[in-house]
Amino acid sequence: MKKILVTGGAGFIGSHLCERLLKEGNEVICLDNYFTGSKENIVHLMDNPYFELVRHDVTEPYFAEVDEIYNLACPASPPHYQYNPIKTIKTSVMGAINMLGLAKRVNAKILQASTSEVYGDPKVHPQPESYWGNVNPIGIRSCYDEGKRCAETLFMDYHNQNDVKIKIIRIFNTYGPRMNPNDGRVVSNFIVQALEGDDITIYGDGKQTRSFQYVDDLVEGMIRMMASEDTFVGPVNIGNPGEFTMIELAEKIIKQTQSNSKLVFQELPKDDPLQRKPIISLAKEKLDAWEPRIKLDNGLEKTIEYFKEKLR
C-alpha cells in the first residue's frame, strides 16, 4: 500500500483520480481548499478508512509522509482562473514550490498536472511536446498559461539540481461527470444550455477546434506516467487526438439531448486558441501503449446523464 497525496483532490479530475487510487489499494490524502473543488465530488469516498480529506491551500507549506504526490491544485477554467488571477498564478508557482519541497524532504515521486495551455495559440499544429508554444505573457489568460509554464520550469530545476523524482504531463481538454455546471468550459456550457433549452453560445465563428478526452482516459494516463521508469520525466501530452470544431460539438450535444436549442455566435475572447490537438506518439511509446479508449459520442452520453441528475 502506497500513501499518495493528491492536491486539488476534490476537483473534477482530482476526485476521479482519488477514487481510482483507492480502488487500487492505496492510502490517499486529498488536499483541497474548495476554491473550485467540492466535497460533493468526494463525499462517497469519506467512509473509506484509507481516505483522508484535508482542507488546505497549497500556497502554504504542507507536511506529510507520502510516497507519491499528484499536484493538480489550480483553477482550470477561464472564468475561474480569471476571477482572481493573482491567486491563480500563486497557486501554480507557490504550490509547485511547496509540493516539490515536500517531495524533496520525504523522497517522494511527484507528478505535475500541466496543461496544453502551455502551447498558447499554437503556430504548430498538431502540437508535439517539443513545441515551445505561443503564449501572451501579459494577457487575460497569462495567469494560468504562464503559471503552468513556470511550474514546469520549477519541476525540471528541482529534478536537475536536487534529484527530485518528477513527472510532467500536459493535459488536453478533458470532460466527464463531476464537471462544475458553471465552470465556463465548452462541454459543460453546451450540455447545460441544451438541457435547459437555452440557445447554445459559440464564441467566434465556431470553426476553432479542440480535442476532447474523457476523464477515465486521463486518469489512466496519469497513473501510467507515475508508474513509468524514473528516467522518463516528460513532459508528455495526455489527450485525445480526435479534433472537432465547436459547431460539431454543439451539434452532437443537441442531437444527444434531443434539444431544440439554436446556435448563437458571440465575439471570440482575447487570446483564445484557434486550434488544439495533441500528438500522443510519446505517450504511446513510454506509457505502455496508452491511448484514449472512449469515443466522444460515448463520453458525452455519460456526461449528459450526469448533468441530467445534477440539474434536477
| Tens of pLDDT, residues 278-295 | 999 999 999 999 999 999
Confidence band for 83, pLDDT divided at 50, 70 and 90: confident
Residue 176 has a pLDDT of 97
Q: Which three cell numbers stand for residue 163?
A: 534529484
Choose, from 144, 158, 175, 214, the residue flagged as catalytic. 144
Residue 40 has a pLDDT of 95
Long-range contacts formed by 221-224: CB under 8 A, 24+ apart: 221/169, 221/283, 221/287, 221/290, 222/17, 222/70, 222/111, 222/113, 222/169, 223/17, 223/20, 223/21, 223/24, 224/287, 224/288, 224/290
Model confidence at 79: pLDDT above 90: no
Residue 271 has a pLDDT of 72
Model confidence at 274: pLDDT above 90: no
By the 8 A CB rule, do 147 and 299 touch?
Answer: no
Handedness of CA 130, 208, 213, 42 (dihedral sign): positive
Model confidence at 198: pLDDT above 80: yes
Closest CA to 241 of 285, 197, 275: 275
Residue 139 has a pLDDT of 92
Model confidence at 246: pLDDT above 80: yes
By the 8 A CB rule, do 239 and 116 touch?
Answer: yes
- Strand spans (E) along the chain: 3-7, 27-32, 51-55, 68-71, 109-115, 166-171, 174-175, 200-203, 209-210, 213-214, 236-238, 244-245, 263-266
Please state, in angstroms and rounded to a whole number, the distance separating the CA atoms of residues 9 and 12.
8
What are the phi and psi torsion angles at 65 (to 5°)? Answer: -90, 110
Residue 128 has a pLDDT of 97
Mean pLDDT, residues 28-38 taken together: 95
Residue 156 has a pLDDT of 98
Residue 183 has a pLDDT of 84
Q: Which domains does the chain have, with CATH numbers?
A: 3-173+214-240+275-293 (3.40.50.720)
Q: Give the CA-trace dihedral at 272, 174, 122, 238, to 10 degrees.
A: 160
Give the distance from CA 55 to its chain's centroid.
20
Provide DSSP, 146-167: HHHHHHHHHHHHHHHHH---EE
Say whether 140 sits in a helix, a strand or coil.
coil
Model confidence at 27: pLDDT above 80: yes
Residue 133 has a pLDDT of 95
Provide DSSP, 227-292: HS-TT----EEES----EEHHHHHHHHHHHHT----EEEEPPPTT--S---B--HHHHHHTTT---
Residue 144 is a catalytic residue: yes
Does this model's pTM top 0.75?
Answer: yes
Residue 106 has a pLDDT of 98
Number of residues written out for the chain: 312
- Cell numbers 496519469 correspond to what residue? 222
